[in-house]
Amino acid sequence: DIQMTQSPSTLSASVGDRVTITCRASQTINIWLAWYQLKPGKAPKLLIYEASSLESGVPSRFSGSGSGTDFTLTISSLQPDDFATYYCQQYHDYSTFGQGTKVEIK
Amino acid sequence: EVQLVESGGSLIQPGGSLRLSCAASGFSVSSNYMNWVRQAPGKGLEWVSVIYSGDDTYYADSVKGRFTISRDSSRNTLYLQMSSLRADDTAVYYCARDPTYGDPWGHFDLWGRGTLVTVSS
């Protein structure tokens, strides 16, 4: 099984901050990685797929990078609507998620 | 409007059975790869099952032999039949669409809001 290690588990930041979340796969997954945003009571939202492709309708302040085993989600300027929990997902072999990163207000 | 709406979650005793439904609108569940993903209270996301081309299926080891995924094209609905339920099956269950084709594994571009299953005596 491919394990996904996401860090940090919690991140305290202010509006306007640049935020970076990392995800490491236990074996190479090429570019088969997605990032999601979760808010309580809402449907999860796809942000990034194939490691760096921005989903239609997602603000350009979100970006993804990486390949192989190491990946990054960056929010260039944190907005009030961005306080949420973020998950990475590998889909190279089966599908597994990271443990999540909660972005909270500093 | 393109959307997924889950239903069927409830409080159920250990060992019991439950069927979850996921009604789709704006697209066909039979023409897409469809998944179930769950989130236990205070925990992260866990992939549960996929139904893809030719109605082939895969399951997570944690539910294999107990859960069955299926779909009904006439109702445009995805199902998850759950049996021999355990306390650790307690979770919000989401259905999700994979817009890709080929491998059964992909990203999920459309999700529902989820339905809560609580397994407790």
Under 8 Å CB pairs connecting chains A and B tally to: 59
> Would you call A94 and B4 a contact, using CB atoms and an 8 Å cutoff?
no
Residues paired with residue A20 on neighbouring β-strands, in sequence order = A74
DSSP string across A52-79: TEEPTTS-TTEEEEEETTEEEEEESS--
**C-alpha closest to that of B92 among B66, B120, B112, B63:** B112
Subunit contact A89:B107, Cβ cutoff 8 A: yes
* Contact indicator for A87, A98 with CB cutoff of 8 Å: yes
Please give the structure tokens belonging to residue B21. Answer: 């439904």
Which residue among A49, A95, A98 places its CB closest to the CB of B105?
A95
End-to-end CA separation in angstroms for chain B: 39
Q: How many angstroms separate the CA atoms of A87 and B11, rounded?
A: 27
Whats the size of chain A, residue-wise? 106
Q: What is the pLDDT of residue B55?
A: 86
* CB-CB contact of B34 with B78 (8 Å): yes
Average pLDDT, chain A: 97
- Per-residue confidence (pLDDT) for residue B2, from 0 to 100: 96
Decide if A100 touches B, using CB distance below 8 A. Answer: yes
pLDDT of A22 reads 98
Pairing relationship of beta strands A70-75 and A62-67 according to DSSP bridges = antiparallel
Going from the C-alpha of B56 to that of each of B22, B53, B119, the distances in angstroms are 18, 6, 28
**Pair B114, B92: CB distance under 8 Å:** yes
Q: Quick one: what percent of chain A has pLDDT higher than 70?
A: 100
Closest CA to A98 of B47, B106, B114, B89: B47
The answer to whether residue A13 scores a pLDDT higher than 90 is yes
pLDDT at A9 over 90: yes
User: From first to last of its 121 residues, what are the pLDDT tens digits of chain B?
Assistant: 999 999 999 999 999 999 999 999 999 999 999 999 999 999 999 999 999 988 899 999 999 999 999 999 999 999 999 999 999 999 999 999 999 988 889 999 999 999 999 999 9
